[in-house]
Amino acid sequence: MSVLQAFLCGVVYFLAIGNLPFVGLWSLQRPLVCGLITGIILGDPVMGAMTGASINLVYLGFISAGGSMPADMALAGILGTAFAITGGLDAKTALSVAVPIGLLGTIVWYGRMTFGSIFVHVADRYIENGEYNKIWRANVLFPQLLTALITIIPCGLAAYFGASYISGFIEALSGTALTIFTVIGGMMPALGVAITLQYIFKGEARVFLFLGFILATYSGLDLLPLGVIAGLTALIYVQATGNKSDSEEDEIYE
């Protein structure tokens, strides 16, 4: 991996968690997306997409509530993909390496939240001095500079130096240890799917879970038509329940 490629990996990480418009949690932060982009940077977009998709399965039920960050899926996606491509790992083995990296990445998030609070007092001083035209610096400029500092440099260094040692690391683990990593990596997506199913298997949605499972198993349809059928079913259900609610409200008012 070249220095430029490592730097670009760091930039992707910054864009993924920088809360900039149109990028972040719902797009670039997802391992599937940042894995693909990392693959493009390293010249292997197919492997990048495959590895990113495998890592993404673990984080299907990802929730960040109240400002907490249980794991950094962007960092897991970027470095997991980078190590897979540069170290010649398959997607399952890369996944077992990426998940601990995601846990380590929470340090970046909490560091950002901790030191970012300083800029609130900077904005207070601008207001006290009547310098209202400078408030944007404390709200936008300084926080983004801090985020860039603690994301681009660490991620770039980890990608550059980690890629240099990952091949030797894999050779040292070749055999039983590497097989264990592969098996663990293959089991991890089941965890992400199980967490997601916990949210689906509730109330009236349970019947749709079984209906979708039967349809996907026995119909032989591809993902695209299954997705269209699921979308239409959801639309019909919402319309039907919405009309029922409107009728009940009319009866109440009468």
Contact 167, 88 (CB under 8 A): yes
Residues 25 and 64 in one domain: yes
Q: Which of 29, 34, 113 is nearest to 78 (CA)?
A: 34
161 within some domain: yes
Q: Please count the other Cβ atoms lying within 10 Å of the Cβ belonging to residue 121.
A: 10
Among residues 161, 188, 215, the one where a domain terminates is: 188
Which range of residues forms the domain containing residue 216? Answer: 202-247
Q: What is the pLDDT along the chain (254 residues), one digit of tens a residue?
A: 888 998 999 999 998 887 776 666 677 888 889 999 999 999 889 989 888 888 888 777 666 655 567 778 888 889 889 988 887 777 777 777 787 788 778 888 888 888 888 898 999 999 988 888 888 888 888 988 998 898 898 888 888 887 666 555 556 655 565 566 566 655 666 666 666 666 677 777 778 878 888 888 888 888 788 888 888 888 888 888 776 555 555 555 45
Residues 53 and 151 in one domain: yes
User: Cα 99–100–104 angle (5° rounding)?
Assistant: 120
128 within some domain: yes
Residues 116 and 234 in one domain: no
Residues 140 and 171 in one domain: yes
Q: Residues with Cβ < 8 Å from 120, sequence gap 6 or more?
A: 138
Residues 178 and 224 in one domain: no
Residues 119 and 51 in one domain: yes
Q: Residue 6 phi/psi, 5° resolution?
A: -65, -40
Tokens of 225: 């038509």
Residues 105 and 224 in one domain: no
Long-range contacts from 106-110, C-beta under 8 angstroms, 24+ separation: 106/69, 106/70, 106/71, 106/72, 108/17, 108/72, 108/75, 108/150, 108/151, 108/154, 109/17, 109/69, 109/72, 110/69
Give the Cα separation of 126 and 61 in Å (integer).
Answer: 41
Residues 119 and 232 in one domain: no
56 within some domain: yes
Among residues 146, 161, 188, the one where a domain terminates is: 188
Give the Cα separation of 105 and 21 in Å (integer).
Answer: 22
197 within some domain: no
196 within some domain: no
Residues 235 and 184 in one domain: no
Among residues 142, 157, 188, the one where a domain terminates is: 188
Q: Residue 28 phi/psi, 5° resolution?
A: -70, -25
Residues 207 and 184 in one domain: no
Give the Cα separation of 184 and 194 in Å (integer).
Answer: 16
The count of domains in the chain is: 2
Give the Cα separation of 88 and 98 in Å (integer).
Answer: 14
Q: What share of the chain is helix, strand, coil (3-state, %, to 5)?
A: 80, 0, 20
Residues 158 and 180 in one domain: yes
Buried/exposed 221-239: b ≥16 CB within 10 Å, e otherwise: eeeeeeeebeeeeeeeeee
Residues 54 and 139 in one domain: yes
193 within some domain: no
